[in-house]
Amino acid sequence: MKVTVIGTGYVGLVAGACFADFGFDVTCIDKDESKVAALRAGTVPIYEPGLTEIVGRTQTNGNLHFVSAYQDAIPNADVIFIAVGTPTKDEGGSADISAVIAASEELAPLLRGCTVIATKSTVPIGTGQRLDALFRSAAPDADVAIVSNPEFLREGSAVRDFVEPDRVVIGAEADWAASTMRALYRPIEDRGIPVLVVDRATAEISKYAANSFLATKIAFINEVADLCEQAGGDVRSVADAIGLDTRIGNQFLKAGPGFGGSCFPKDTRAFVSSSERLGIRQRVVSAAVHANEARKLHLVQRVADACDGDLSNARVAVLGLAFKAGTDDLRESPSLFMVPELVRLADEVRAHDPVAMPVARDTFTGVHYGETVDECLDGADVAVILTDWPEYRELDPKMLAGTMRRNVIVDLRNMMDADTLEAHGVSVVGIGRRE
């Protein structure tokens, strides 16, 4: 079976490389010729554990190819995945599918024979129907089936999530298209992983509903954390106590600086706006979106409070800029909201991130960087942990106590061993617990 993937971002590149590793003949298309040249040379432009090895291995065995011209990869394809970006379009939060439409218009005249066109990009509900109409008019003689095949992988564990997902969802209207898609996922289904074949709208809604539910869970536990701070509980223990109820589950209950990344903020907003277009109000998810936006700024006050309410003479060390550990992605990261505000309020902001500093240098102004954590902390009055990088947990308490000017850590990920640090004279302000 010949597979073509349009778009070599997180989703497209991971899917293409993994399908090639399953043994299929895969060609990835990207308009950016320099990116194609780099990928052909084995250079993967994103930080994603395990991906470079698979891209190298599957190019060497001849299963994976990169091209920039549609003509080279569309006519013979059995399945074409559309995996281009669908960013937030406007204030209302709807997703911009112009790249999906442009790709469809470009590939339509090149289709030959029977082809499945599967959307892997997260697309607004009803996009499948819209593409159906597009192909009916742009490729009236081609035998085409539009399928929704949402992707549930996480940045930082994308390869593992693709190969060992909790489930695969295939939204197809035609039986032949569902069978073709199922054959692609056979190596996964053979391992006992559920492959759900549903109608297209169900698949589209499932993607938004999954991300919205998880994001709501996080917004919820963050408000429980606020309550714990006032009432004297500990949100980590509350999360354990409720998470052991199998109806709730223990994942995505870590209180923190608010959810970020390229998916949750965008998809929750798009879920709300897609629903509104159909006359349905999503009150629960709307509340989660607002609570999350407010949180990112509100936590700046916690840093100021750690310095007696005034940062004007303080040097602030920011540990972690990426929206979560395991990625260099800054999109919608709490750091994008908090760092500029800290720059405005503090005497100096010095930041560190194990992998995101090159991206950060092009993003923030007025920030100094420490090449190492020690350099970042040197002379700082307060350190703020924004990203849950494991190496921060391993920091030597003696080093911390000896390097900082005022020994205060605002741990917005609740990841440090507060007892040990406090035994070394470093005070730790966490989330959802009283000091």
Which residue, 253 or 404, has its beta carbon nearer to ligand UGA? 253
Smallest gap from Cβ 297 to ligand UGA, in A, equals 16
Q: Is 337 annotated as a binding residue?
A: no
Catalytic residue of the set 228, 263, 307, 376: 263
342: helix, strand or coil: helix
**What would the two tokens of residue 431 be?**
């989330």
**What would the two tokens of residue 62 be?**
């001849």
Q: Is 398 annotated as a binding residue?
A: no
Q: Which residues contact 89 (CB under 8 A, 6 or more apart)?
A: 95, 96
**What would the two tokens of residue 195 be?**
């492959």
**What residues numbered 246-265 form the site for ligand UGA, per CB under 6 A?**
252-254, 256, 259-261, 263-264
Q: Give the Å distances, CA to CA, from 323 to 16, 260, 261, 353, 386.
A: 25, 6, 6, 11, 8
Smallest gap from Cβ 218 to ligand UGA, in A, equals 5
Binding track over 270-309 against ligand UGA, x by CB under 6 A: ----------------------------------------
Which residue, 93 or 260, has its beta carbon nearer to ligand UGA? 260
Contact (Cβ atoms closer than 8 angstroms) between residue 189 and residue 195: yes
Q: Which residues contact 256 (CB under 8 A, 6 or more apart)?
A: 218, 222, 334, 388, 412, 413, 414, 431
Distance separating alpha carbons of residues 424 and 380, to the nearest angstrom:
17
Which of 388, 428, 386, 387 shows the shortest CA–CA distance to 404? 428
114 in active site: no
Distance separating alpha carbons of residues 208 and 214, to the nearest angstrom:
10
Q: Is 155 annotated as a binding residue?
A: yes
Which residue, 206 or 403, has its beta carbon nearer to ligand UGA? 206
122 makes contact with ligand UGA (CB under 6 A): yes
236 makes contact with ligand UGA (CB under 6 A): no
Distance separating alpha carbons of residues 255 and 432, to the nearest angstrom:
7
324 makes contact with ligand UGA (CB under 6 A): yes
Which residue positions form the known binding site for NAD(+)? 30, 35, 86, 122, 155, 266, 331
Catalytic positions: 263
Which residue positions form the known binding site? 30, 35, 86, 122, 152-155, 207, 252-256, 260, 266, 324, 331
For ligand UGA, the binding residues (CB under 6 A) are 122, 151-155, 211, 214, 218, 252-254, 256, 259-261, 263-264, 267, 323-324
Which residue positions form the known binding site for substrate? 152-155, 207, 252-256, 260, 324
